[in-house]
A = this chain, B = another copy of it.
Amino acid sequence: MENIVPHLAKGRKPVEPEKLIRREPVDPATFKRMIRQMGLKVTQQRLAILETLSGGRAHVTAQEVFETVNGKYPEIGFATVYRFLRKMAEQKLVTEVRMGGLPARYELTPRRHHDHLTCTQCGLIVEFENQIIENLQEQVARAHNFRLTHHVLELYGICPRCQAE
């Protein structure tokens, strides 16, 4: 059956791994600083979670983080992963990316703000920045006397490779 709610097809063929956006690994010492900065205790679990967030694919679900960390620290519970991700999101150290009704994906908050362009066929995520759009959003909020706190801009479409097929 078709799923309309999720903007990504369920039985989709996954995007080629080498196309996934990745980020440079972060120095482990930095992690401790980040955790202390949040006023939290430094634990093995939290370091492992940060390591996972930093090393591989940029946009991961809580489940994916759990599974990866679970490989190294089999005793970890998924509640810990969810809890820490939430804490970090509160402090804006990680950013949630929500695509329709699908599980939330998390990324270490990048220095520069960006939005996402997602392929509904293969799940490819392309990041883009557009300051003009940002400005126009501010303008819209001002016009309605809102104080803007954040926004969600997700574009969905078919990537070049999937169009070709």
Contact = CB atoms under 8 A, between A and B. Distances in A.
Interface stretch (A14-22, A43-51, A128-136): A128-136
Given A5-B89, A90-B4, A158 B130 contact: no
B89 A4 contact: yes
Complex copy number for this chain: 2
Contacts of A126: 144, 146
Contacts of A152: 7, 100, 152-154, 156
A42 interface: no
Interface of A: 2, 4-5, 7, 86, 89-90, 96, 98, 100-101, 104, 117, 119-120, 126, 128, 130, 132-133, 136-137, 140-141, 143-160, 163
3 nearest A-B residue pairs (beta carbon)? A146-B157, A145-B160, A148-B157
